[in-house]
């Protein structure tokens, strides 16, 4: 697959965009006209930069409103195009992208549009150029690619083809029959591939400008589109053209790498099932690692102790402890010469790494390498495990551990502290871990789990915080043992943003532990550590679920929330926050698979009110 990216996809100056595209491994770039106009050098300078970086300049785009204009405007557009041809020569590109006319003055006459495009194609052919005609989803009279194709056929010029853009096609509900049955490969001038969430938006311009994303990050049938091209034997460039607020507000280098990961993912989806290598599977949580120092670290430890954990293991050579209970392993890293210490200096006491078990660590690392993930290695002593890690969300790490049938990581690297017993005070396993990310990392975070770790990604849903909406989507391992809600908000005072501001970056905000008796756990945690829930909430769930009065009183006394659906019941309670981080204890009854989403707004409000009350007390 020959890969390209439009410069409009990335943030920054034109040289920065070109550098980012080259570093990510793209073969070519489309130069967005605004980027060229804003650039302080000449088009020849741009060509030289691209040449030095090994990038081919695929196209100059877009040329707008060229067809079906009244007479005077038509002449102006022809003059405009001829002057732009000069810039194309200087750039060293031979393709121009022409968008369907959106002007209210546009004439609704396909024959007139075809005649104009034929004339422009004839002018382009004399310069050695080709023209691609694209139906904008909000085009005045040409909005569907089938209609654009009909105009291209009417124009009947060898230098004119159709430009295919998956966003414009699928946002309007176009099917692939015309592409599959009618359009020959030599009439496809350019392919631009973009994904987007499925939204019921009739304002296609706003939909396009703010919600496009890389293939695999949205819900459009981009894989089916690519399969049709593959079946047709299409072997020209595939280019990203993404308009997205997150992308324009974030690192060009990081988004370009995301774009290349998307290309790799697309290529992987097109491989025949029988020829695909077996994907390594993440099967469980192995441990959660905290960067622990100072008073903040002490407060986190005190909350973990309230949950029943005890530091019962110590590392054989490092200042690292381990709290273990049943299938839960919490690593407390106080080592000054470690990545955890660097994480602490940037973010304070917090989760610095997640460790997942995999059925094939080498294959998992090979897959991570293929997706351009950075690797990290630990300083292991003689006889100690060297557990490989890759960059995770924010500044955190993800360890990939191949669990042995004979021993676990703590059997090799840790020794039990004398006189400290491993207690079982009710918590059984990690139920889920929620990460709060900035709005510029939301798509990238979910795609990291989808592409690199082959997780399933649930559709996004909005959860109401009292200060604004929180958007959440869950990444989960194929076997369902690892579940990771990813939360984002643009509201500065909503829960995820308060955490990000406090911790100076994205990271783990919430850890949920599963138990078999939540009322016993709530009593153990103690009222002083549990998040208080408003009494009105219990009146509401009594009305909704018709729970017995004694059960309502029991829930209210323990500050436990409740949900029920057709699959089962869900009981859960929260600890108070420690520097933005909090813990949840859950009890699932039956086959309940959710996260108590109907109660999310109660948790958000309870945390906000408690934070405000605590702030008043410190005045």
pLDDT band at 324 (very low <50, low <70, confident <90, very high): very high
541 neighbors 505 (Cβ within 8 angstroms): no
Q: Between these two residues, 465 and 278, which has the higher pLDDT value?
A: 465
- What is the pTM for the complete model shown? 0.91
20 neighbors 247 (Cβ within 8 angstroms): no
350 neighbors 343 (Cβ within 8 angstroms): yes
For residue 522 the two structure tokens come to 């709530």
Does the pLDDT of residue 424 top 90, yes or no?
no
CATH class of 282-416: alpha beta
Secondary structure (3-state) at 612 = helix
Of 192, 81, 68, give the one whose Cα is nearest residue 126. 81
Does the pLDDT of residue 425 top 80, yes or no?
no
465 neighbors 601 (Cβ within 8 angstroms): yes
What's the pLDDT score for residue 619?
45
pLDDT band at 381 (very low <50, low <70, confident <90, very high): low
Cα–Cα distance for residue pair 263/261, rounded to 1 Å: 5
pLDDT band at 198 (very low <50, low <70, confident <90, very high): confident
Ranges 22-26, 250-254, 418-422, 491-495: which has the least confidence: 418-422
For helices 442-451 and 252-269, give the axis angle rounded to 10 degrees. Answer: 40
Burial class of residue 203 (count of CB atoms within 10 Å of its CB; 0-12, 13-18, 19+): exposed
Q: In terms of CATH, what superfamily is 427-617?
A: 2,3-Dihydroxybiphenyl 1,2-Dioxygenase, domain 1 (3.10.180.10)
Does the pLDDT of residue 379 top 70, yes or no?
no
User: In this prediction, what percent of the chain has a pLDDT beyond 70?
Assistant: 97
Does the pLDDT of residue 539 top 60, yes or no?
yes
Cα–Cα distance for residue pair 252/273, rounded to 1 Å: 34
Direct distance between the N- and C-terminal alpha carbons of the chain, in angstroms, rounded to an integer = 61
**Where in the chain are the domains?**
61-270, 282-416, 427-617
30 neighbors 62 (Cβ within 8 angstroms): no
Does the pLDDT of residue 382 top 80, yes or no?
no
For residue 351 the two structure tokens come to 């989760």
For residue 327, the cross-strand partners are none
Summarize pLDDT for 495-513 with one digit per residue, the tens: 999 999 999 999 999 999 9
Report cis status (omega within 30 of 0) of the bond before 62: yes
Which of 198-212, 380-394, 544-558 has the highest mean predicted lDDT (pLDDT)? 544-558
Summarize pLDDT for 346-368 with one digit per residue, the tens: 999 999 999 999 999 999 999 99
555-587 b/e with 16+ CB inside 10 Å = b? bbebbbbbbbeeeeebbbbbbbbbbbbbbbbbb
Radius of gyration of the chain (CA): 28
What's the mean pLDDT in 440-444? 93
Of 275, 187, 262, 257, give the one whose Cα is nearest residue 229. 187
pLDDT band at 611 (very low <50, low <70, confident <90, very high): confident
How many secondary structure helices (H) and strands (E) does the chain include? 22, 26
* CATH number of 61-270, picked from 3.90.1150.10, 3.40.50.1220, 3.20.20.150, 3.40.50.2300: 3.20.20.150
Q: Which parts of 64-153 are beta strand (E)?
A: 95-99, 130-134
Across all residues in the chain, what is the average pLDDT? 94
For residue 435 the two structure tokens come to 């990460």
Q: Which parts of 359-506 are beta strand (E)?
A: 375-376, 389-391, 397-401, 414-416, 427-436, 456-457, 461-465, 468-476, 483-488
Does the pLDDT of residue 384 top 70, yes or no?
no
Q: Between these two residues, 388 and 291, which has the higher pLDDT value?
A: 291
Summarize pLDDT for 114-163 with one digit per residue, the tens: 999 999 999 999 999 999 999 999 999 999 999 999 999 999 999 999 99
Does the pLDDT of residue 57 top 60, yes or no?
yes
Of 38, 194, 155, 163, give the one whose Cα is nearest residue 97. 163
Cα–Cα distance for residue pair 442/490, rounded to 1 Å: 11
- Tell me if 282-416 shares its fold with 427-617: yes
What's the pLDDT score for residue 614?
66
What's the pLDDT score for residue 149?
98
What's the pLDDT score for residue 337?
87
Cα–Cα distance for residue pair 64/62, rounded to 1 Å: 6
**Largest Cα span, the chain:** 93
């Amino acid at each position: 697959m020959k890969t390209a990216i439009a410069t409009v996809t990335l943030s920054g100056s034109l040289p920065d965009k070109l550098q980012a595209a080259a570093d990510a491994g793209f073969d070519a770039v489309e130069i967005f006209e605004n980027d060229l106009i804003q650039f302080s050098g000449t088009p020849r300078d741009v060509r030289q930069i691209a040449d030095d970086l090994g990038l081919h300049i695929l196209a100059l785009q877009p040329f707008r409103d060229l067809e079906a204009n009244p007479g005077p405007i038509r002449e102006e557009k022809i003059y405009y195009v001829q002057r732009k041809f000069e810039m194309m020569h200087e750039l060293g590109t031979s393709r121009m992208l022409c968008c369907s006319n959106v002007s209210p003055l546009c004439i609704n006459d396909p024959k007139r549009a075809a005649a104009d495009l034929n004339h422009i194609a004839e002018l382009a052919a004399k310069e050695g150029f080709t023209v691609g005609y694209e139906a904008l989803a909000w085009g005045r009279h040409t909005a569907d690619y089938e209609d654009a194709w009909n105009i291209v056929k009417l124009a009947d010029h060898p230098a004119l083809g159709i430009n295919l853009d998956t966003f414009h096609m699928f946002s309007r509900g176009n099917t692939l029959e015309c592409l599959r049955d009618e359009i020959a490969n030599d009439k496809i001038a350019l392919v631009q591939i973009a994904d987007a969430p499925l939204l019921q938006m009739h304002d296609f311009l706003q939909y396009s400008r703010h919600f496009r994303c890389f293939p695999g990050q949205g819900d459009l049938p981009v894989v089916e589109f690519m399969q049709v091209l593959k079946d047709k034997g299409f072997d020209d460039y595939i280019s990203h053209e993404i308009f997205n607020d997150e992308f324009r507000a974030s690192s060009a280098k990081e988004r370009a790498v995301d774009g290349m990961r998307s290309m790799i993912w697309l290529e992987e989806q097109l491989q025949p099932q029988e020829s695909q290598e077996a994907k390594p599977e993440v099967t469980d949580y192995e441990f959660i690692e905290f960067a622990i120092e100072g008073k903040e670290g002490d407060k986190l430890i005190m909350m973990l102790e309230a949950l029943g954990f005890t530091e019962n293991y110590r590392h054989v050579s490092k200042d690292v402890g381990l709290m273990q209970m049943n299938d839960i392993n919490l690593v407390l890293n106080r080592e000054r010469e470690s990545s955890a210490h660097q994480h602490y200096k940037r973010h304070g006491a917090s989760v610095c790494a997640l460790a997942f078990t995999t059925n094939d660590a080498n294959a998992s690392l090979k897959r991570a390498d293929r997706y351009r993930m950075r690797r990290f290695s630990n300083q292991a002593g003689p006889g100690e495990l060297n557990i490989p890690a890759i960059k995770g969300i924010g500044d955190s790490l993800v360890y990939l551990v191949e669990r042995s049938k004979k021993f676990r990581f703590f059997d090799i690297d840790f020794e039990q502290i004398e006189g400290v017993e491993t207690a079982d005070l009710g918590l059984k396993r990690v139920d889920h871990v929620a990460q709060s990310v900035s709005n510029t990392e939301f798509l990238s975070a979910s795609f990291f789990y989808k592409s690199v770790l082959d997780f399933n990604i649930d559709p996004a849903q909005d959860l109401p915080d009292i200060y604004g909406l929180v958007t959440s989507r869950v990444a989960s391992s194929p076997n369902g043992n690892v579940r990771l809600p990813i939360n984002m908000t643009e509201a500065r005072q909503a829960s995820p943003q308060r955490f990000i501001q406090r911790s100076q970056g994205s990271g783990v905000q919430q850890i949920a532990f599963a138990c078999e008796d939540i009322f016993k756990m709530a009593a153990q945690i103690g009222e002083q550590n549990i998040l208080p829930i408003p009494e009105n909430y219990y009146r509401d769930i009594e009305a909704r679920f018709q729970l017995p009065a004694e059960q309502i009183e029991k829930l209210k006394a323990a500050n436990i929330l409740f949900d029920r659906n057709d699959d089962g019941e869900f009981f859960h309670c929260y600890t108070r926050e420690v520097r933005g981080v909090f813990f949840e204890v859950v009890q699932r009854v039956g086959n309940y698979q959710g996260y108590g989403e109907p109660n999310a707004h109660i948790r958000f409000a309870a945390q906000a009110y408690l934070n405000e009350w605590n702030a008043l007390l410190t005045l």
